[in-house]
Amino acid sequence: MKLLIKNGTLIDPVLETMQKTDILVEDDLISAIGEGLEDAEARVIDAEGCAISAGLIDMHVHFRDPGFTYKEDIISGSHAAAHGGFTTVTCMPNTKPTIDTPEWVKYVYDRAEEGSGIHVLPIAAVSKGQLGEELTDAEALKKAGAAALSDDGRQVMNANLMRDALICASRQNMVILSHCEDENMVKNYAVNEGRISRQLGLPGRPAIAEELMVMRDAMLAEETQSAVHICHISTGKAVDIVRKFKKKGVKITCETCPQYFTLTHSEVLTQGAAARVNPPLRNTRDMQAVLEGVKDGTIDCIVTDHAPHSEEEKARGLEKAPSGMVGLETSLAITLTQLYHTGEMTLPQILAKMTVNPAHILGLEKGRVAVGCDADLTIFDPNEEWVVDASKFASKGRNTPFNGKTLKGRVKYTIAAGKVVYEDGGEE
């Protein structure tokens, strides 16, 4: 199978260049890059007016399989990812049962075979059953192919267990992805603690619950000389902590999600449970600080934390509904609308956070476009406008506060391992 992509603009996030060029794909590899390429046998894709990037990587999604497949399964999730331009995702282990053994790691790989054709890599739990009591077997999980370790959805509350986990993970060359919120401070509360929680008369999740845990994990990473990656950072002070520890040379990285540099807690007033997420949407100052962290490089990655829930669950109302929002099919467009079309960042700077940076953190040989590399590519029109219609999502989840919003930037083709796995307006 050959694909010839003509007339697109190739974005290189490392060299920070944008260059008009053709790309030839043979089987699952990139075989040539240059101007005026021809190949009589190849399927030609016209990428005029489009940007070409290494396939997008989302290192934080929830596919709910096994156990909650009414919300999403690995197959529907992998199609949602392809629609959103993602060729690699790593999925969180807060399933039922928990992905905490080599057998369950293998289950994810096996199920993904039947999916859209993108690469779905499992993240395994830090603690058995994510109960925060006993560590999983990092060595066996690594051998089975786990891409990282995380108890996401929950905080590893026991500092001693987290310290041991960091030591064990680093021996396996694995990173721990840490959901930072002190569980005793946030309980099952629905919104950020602040003006909006007071207005609604609800108990809130305070920013300090996140910041304390970011500080703890940063200090543990420093002391154990291990790598920690902070999930979905959402407060200004948490960004400051990561910035300071990075300056000291500590192996700390972090991610945020489009909702944290786009929306604030006031969103729950109009959107209710659709705007409920953990950590919660914060105040304007935090939102701006997160944006600053994305711009200055403190925040390494933009991920979705794609967290599908059923319509019935989200209809229970703000206080009773589960937390989370879907993101795979809107992430690139929200990011382009908010960061590129406003002039805040360039395409290479943005794409670094969705390709090379997550690849680097996970130790994956992905995220670059060069001859001989895996043919994982995303082709998008940065200027096409469209209106989000969640009812059309490939995901089973429709829970997004961006429904009905006009966004600028649209995925046209997603190519994984040399195969077109998504085509805008076309058949897969």
**Whether residue 217 lies in the annotated active site:** no
Q: How far is the CB of 30 from ligand DOR (least distance, A)?
A: 35
| Region of residue 159 (phi > 0: left; psi between -120 and 50: alpha; otherwise: beta) | alpha
Selected binder of ligand DOR within 9, 94, 98, 338 (CB under 6 A):
94
* Contact pick of 151, 152, 217, 376 for Zn ion (by CB under 5 A): 152
Identity of residue 376: D
Binds 277, which of Zn ion, ligand DOR, none (CB < 5 to 8 A, cut-off by type)?
ligand DOR
A 10 A CB-CB count for 49 gives 13
Given the complex with ligand DOR, which of 337 and 399 has the nearer CB atom?
399
Residues in the chain: 428
Q: How many residues bind ligand DOR (CB under 6 A)?
A: 11
Spell out the residues 6+ positions from residue 405 whose beta carbon is closer than 8 angstroms to its own: 387, 388
Is position 337 an interface residue for ligand DOR (rule: CB under 6 A)? no
Q: 116 vs 323, which CB is nearer to ligand DOR?
A: 323
284-296 and 236-247 helices, crossing angle to 10°: 30
Q: Does 313 bind Zn ion (CB under 5 A)?
A: no
Structure tokens belonging to residue 426: 């076309």
Residues 94/130, Cβ–Cβ less than 8 Å: yes
**Can residue 277 be called a binding residue for ligand DOR (CB under 6 A)?**
yes
In the set 305, 374, 376, 381, the catalytic residue is 305
What's the min distance (Å) between Cβ of 142 and ligand DOR? 23
Q: In this chain, which of 323, 337, 338, 414 binds ligand DOR, going by CB under 6 A?
A: 323
- Is residue 179 at the binding interface for Zn ion, with CB under 5 A as the rule? yes
C-beta separation of 318 from 268 below 8 A:
yes
Question: Could you tell me which residues are beta bridge partners of residue 75?
Answer: none
Q: Judged by CB under 5 A, which stretch of 38-46, 70-78, 124-132, 229-237 contacts Zn ion? A: 229-237
Beta carbons of 346 and 340 less than 8 angstroms apart:
yes
Residue with tokens 């390429």: 37
Cβ–Cβ under 8 Å, residues 50 and 380: yes
By CB under 5 A, tell whether 305 contacts Zn ion: yes
Applying CB under 5 A, does 216 fall inside the site for Zn ion? no
CA–CA separation, 363 vs 148, rounded Å? 10
152 is an interface residue for ligand DOR by CB under 6 A:
yes
* Site residues, ligand DOR (CB under 6 A): 62, 94, 152-153, 179, 277-278, 307, 322-324
Residues marked as catalytic: 305
